[in-house]
Amino acid sequence: MDGKPAITRRTMLATLSGIAAVSTGIKTVAAAEPSSELPRRPSRKISKVEKEYLRLLPLWQGERKQFSPSSDTHDYWRGPHGRAIIALGPAIIPYLIQELRRGDFFFNVPLEWITNADISNGNTDLSEQDNAQLWLKWWDGTNLETKR
């Protein structure tokens, strides 16, 4: 610990939602309590984001096959569909968490890029599976300190 306050899930979502609302002009949705279920659809704006995410997901899954020779999970998100998913911003965090719960650790990358958080606090020895567990603890409200 370096004396910096811990970044909680609620704080991160509130901050990112505010940023997204300012940049897109949409109303924000208050951070919900941690849950393994997908969030309720509080507005049509969120529903449109969900629809777009669900449209892009299978396209990205096909797209990521071209990056299979790479061991860098960041490469898998550099294509147009990966970038489009990330561009959806904080509203898709619950969906990314759901993918992690299903065991797809490739979703560590968009979580990192959307939240701008280093979930492993610079520990490069952790596996992608370990990082996925840290993201799940963060989402579930375990007080983790993160840097950035």
47 found inside a domain: yes
**Domain range enclosing 61:** 9-139
pLDDT (tens digit, 0 to 9) for every residue of the chain, 148 residues total? 444 445 566 656 555 555 444 444 443 344 434 445 555 554 545 578 999 999 999 999 999 898 888 888 888 899 999 999 999 999 999 999 999 999 999 999 999 999 999 899 888 889 999 999 999 999 998 655 555 5
CA distance 111 to 127: 16
1 found inside a domain: no
21 found inside a domain: yes
Buried b / exposed e across 75-108, counting CB within 10 Å, b at 16+? bbbebebbeebbebbbbbbbbbbbbbeeeebbbb
User: 33: helix, coil or strand?
Assistant: coil
4 found inside a domain: no
CA distance 28 to 30: 7
Total structural domains within the chain = 1
144 found inside a domain: no
